[in-house]
Amino acid sequence: MARQFDVPVFYRSPIISQVKESRRLTDPRKRDLSPSVLDFGPVRFKIARHFGFCYGVENAIEIAYRALEENPDRRIFLLSEMIHNPRVNEDLQRRGIRFLRTTRGEQLIPFDELTPEDIVIIPAFGTSVEVAGALQERGVDTLSYDTTCPFVEKVWKKSRQIGQQGFTVVVHGKRYHEETRATISHARQAAPVVVVRNLEEAEDLARVIRGDVSRGFFFVRFGGRYSEGFDPDRDLQRIGVVNQTTMLATETQAIADLLRQAMIARYGAEAIDAHFATTSDTLCYATNENQNATLALIEDGGDLAIVVGGYNSSNTSHLVELCEQRMPTYFIKGAEEILSRYRIRHYDYHAKVERESTGWFPDRRPVDIVLTAGASCPDALLDEVIREIVGWFDDARPVEEALAPFAEAS
């Protein structure tokens, strides 16, 4: 999948792009997860080895802007946010694209207002079988500008395969996230489906599998998160685990291991292949790379972490979750949230609210800032963060000097 996408130049960045290109040339096999360090003297940025636009996001952006270029005289709609980044979505809206639905599926523009002449872009998360059918019934082409991530489609394919073999699909995901709603819809065409959000819920599902609790417990604990007609006595005898691709890969693996052990406890190790399907090949490589790079970044240490991305971005929130276990962490959508060296506005993803913090920037020199971003975040936004903070220091080295080690390497 090593192809170059035609992404608008204003999403690129002079600083971050040079760092990434240098690392690509010096470490083509991506084995070195150590952070890149931009040393400006009074402040140093430790930048994750992997972050920012992934294959699926770049593919989606290329298709969306191509749709605009190829159809200047037609109405163009996005089914919902193409990716979870406000900068990207706002730019598309400024260019005339309108959203048909919210990220939670509430209708903004009735499908009945669409005509066969309209263009509808399917977002990177994909869409449900039912929504695609409703659009096709109205004569809308859903294939020409379908930006569904190929790794999401891989999860759908695996769900169908194991479903046809008689396995129930257990989805590790957020029940109302667009991708999970789409995966449920595609999976239930071939199999019963149940969604678990985390290890705690997986343990409760394991209790049902082992027979430690009643079937009634299942219906209460997992209300609204199983497919119609689900029978825990029948449908939890054979299972396979797939994931929302933006979830923590380590957590997906832990959930799969937990449920596999529950099956062994119930049916014996010798019979495990008949009761548990292997699905580890559905984990998204980009999500896994970003999370592993973030772990290496945290291990290298820092005074604080800044994570840049959309506040409704699942993969970004997981990077925040990793960072905040080790250091003060600020989740921001862009440099405009850095109000001054004394005040910052940031997102508390646990409470789902924006907060303002004072005294956030350490009064020491040098300050080491851990910096990373979600898979839907343009590199240009990190450039803006770096320039904002470096601008506070009259004695800071110029950008060209801080980039010199990377210029030499590339």
Cα–Cα distance, 249 to 279 (Å, whole number): 12
Q: What distance, in Å, lies between the first and last C-alpha atoms of the chain? A: 22
Distances (CA, A) of 248 to 130, 252, 375: 28, 6, 13
> Please, are residues 343 and 357 in contact by the beta-carbon 8 Å criterion?
yes
Strand partners, 356: 345
Helix (H) or strand (E) holding 358: strand 353-358
Contacting residues for 30 by C-beta, under 8 A, at least 6 apart: 49, 50, 289
CB 258 within 8 A of CB 206: yes
Reply yes or no on whether 324 is catalytic: no
DSSP assignments along 130-175, one per residue: HHHHHHHHTT---STTB---HHHHHHHHHHHHHHHTTPEEEEES-T
- Give the type of residue at 45: F
**From 178, 179, 337, 384, active-site residue:** 179
Cα–Cα distance measured from residue 124 to residue 273, given in angstroms and rounded to the nearest whole number: 33
Closest CA to 298 of 277, 271, 325: 325
Q: What is the largest CA-CA distance in the chain?
A: 69
Paired with 226 in beta bridges are 194
In whole angstroms, give the CA distance from residue 250 to residue 259. Answer: 14
Q: Write out the catalytic residue numbers.
A: 179
